Amino acid sequence: MYVIIWILFLFTMGELMLSPVGNSLATKVAPEAFPSRMMAVWMMAVAMGTALAGSLASFYNPEDAGAENTFFISLGVVSIALGIVLLVLSRWVVKKFATFR
């Protein structure tokens, strides 16, 4: 029981530390006329991540013996695919953000 409480505590601390950084970056990189739109894009990205997590959770069925394999394989494939996309786009992103340092 204590393990679950500690995991939830760590997730909450991570969220509390990441959210202000994302909000600050969204307003910093936004054009002067559109800071609220960039904030909305940041919030939509968080919402899409939550929706993706819910979609992946639908693969899990505790009554099926192979459900855990399907769930964790799909989670791993999506994570690796997104990591490859970020790796491909990393040079472009670094060039775009070079003026904000």
The number of distinct structural domains making up the chain is: 1
- Residue 74 has what pLDDT? 82
> What's the rounded mean pLDDT across residues 50-71?
81
> What's the rounded mean pLDDT across residues 40-48?
92
10 Å Cβ neighbour count for 30?
Answer: 16
Furthest-apart CA atoms within the chain: distance in Å: 54
| Residue 101 confidence class, pLDDT cut points 50, 70, 90 | low
Q: Is the pTM of this model over 0.75?
A: no
- For residue 21, what are the domain limits? 2-100
10 Å Cβ neighbour count for 26?
Answer: 19
Token representation of residue 93: 């992103």
CA distance 8 to 93: 32
Averaged pLDDT score across all residues of the chain? 87
